[in-house]
Amino acid sequence: MKTGRKVQGMQDKSNILEVDRLSNRYEGQPLLQDISFALKQGEILCLLGPSGSGKTTLLRLLAGLEKEDAGSILFCGRDIRAVPSHKRNFGMMFQEYALFPHKSVQQNVAFGLEMQHCPPDELVRRVRTVLELVGLLGLEHRKIDELSGGERQRVALARSLAPEPQLLLLDEPLGSLDRALRDRLTGEIRTILKSLGVTAVFVTHDQAEAFSIADKVAILYHGTLQQFDTPEHLYRKPVNSTVAGFLGFRNLLKGSVERQGIFRSSLGNLPVRAENMVPETANILLIRPEGATLAHSSTAKDDALRLSGTITSRQFQGSSYRIGLRSGDTPLAFDLPIDPPPPEIGRPIELILNPSALVLLSE
């Protein structure tokens, strides 16, 4: 089987997981194409992308539940493509949880350990340890249908952690929960995984969820890996308009690099910092939505980058105002501080743009 070339960082002894040019097809159609990345021990990776982007397929390939057409998967330096799923010592947690309703919390958590023929004393110790870790001590004898959605999620997490997996794979485990509960549990899951030093791959289509839990984020789109980066760097410097659009950025201006440090667009010539410059392929300028303040509320210098327009929408969001404006023929959107409040709809507005919020992208 062809494994393809090695990418930078592959076969690094500090990496626990190395995926190199992994590809998969279904009925002749490509599902994944040349996926390459690496993780270190204890890192949490979120696979982020729209439905049909290949996130779950990639997770199933890592788990050994599907077969790759090309590429390699190394774990602890060993090629695991021929290793059956049940012998990889990887934990899995799905959105449906697949808990046994007729069993108690304790019995559900112990199930994987029983399959491993864990000694009774060790089994009791591990079950108690993970139940304490996920905050379920005292509920050991409850039936699953007596638990809330959040408690069931914790049982599923405890069950997947009890066998002490080398790698934990989570497929949208919070997808069925409401937003408030998801936000709370995302932080708790990260804390738990970090306390154990567990390496994990977490599938989600929710950007906020990915940014809250991940050390690294992989953006998948139509089966290709668009960007692999830290959450902060991904937000600050998306590599192209596909990534920027998926992250919800709306201020994407077409144009061209006029000269070093200058981008010509419908808003005129805009300065771009050297560290935000991309090679000649750059033809789109991103203005991140948090990169503006009201001109009269700013202490900006006379040579500050100013933007004028007319308010087209104004929405209070608690900690900020989301405003839409039109500058010439160009629609834009920004998140402004609540003090002072922005003008009403239909009124003129002048903003100061932070140069660090202007990033050049390729198509």
Q: Using DSSP, how many helices (H) and how many strands (E) does the chain show?
A: 8, 20
Whether the CB-CB separation of 274 and 261 falls below 8 Å is answered with yes
Q: Are residues 215 and 247 in the same domain?
A: no
Q: Are residues 249 and 331 in the same domain?
A: yes
Q: Are residues 52 and 106 in the same domain?
A: yes
Q: Are residues 128 and 40 in the same domain?
A: yes
Q: Are residues 264 and 126 in the same domain?
A: no
Q: What is the pTM of this model?
A: 0.87
Q: How confident is the model at residue 5 (pLDDT cuts 50, 70, 90)?
A: very low
CA distances in angstroms from 237 to 38, 160, 240, 273, listed in the order given: 20, 35, 9, 12
Q: Is 60 exceeded by the pLDDT of residue 255?
A: yes
Mean pLDDT (the chain, rounded): 89
Find all residues with CB under 8 Å of 148, minimum gap 6, and list them. Answer: none
Q: Are residues 232 and 246 in the same domain?
A: no
Q: Is 50 exceeded by the pLDDT of residue 326?
A: yes
pLDDT value of position 327: 96
Joined tokens for residue 169: 């794979």
- Could you tell me if residue 232 is inside a domain? yes
Percent of the chain with pLDDT over 70: 92
* Per-residue pLDDT reduced to its tens digit, 40-99: 999 999 999 998 899 999 999 999 999 999 999 999 999 999 999 989 999 988 766 678
Mean pLDDT of 224-242: 94
pLDDT value of position 191: 92
* Per-residue pLDDT reduced to its tens digit, 273-291: 756 555 556 789 999 999 9
pLDDT value of position 185: 83
Q: How confident is the model at residue 193 (pLDDT cuts 50, 70, 90)?
A: very high
How many whole angstroms from its chain centre is CA 232? 11
CA 8, CA 16: separation in Å to the nearest integer?
A: 15
Neighbours of 351 (CB within 10 A): 25
Mean pLDDT of 256-277: 80
How many whole angstroms from its chain centre is CA 170? 13
Q: Are residues 357 and 231 in the same domain?
A: no
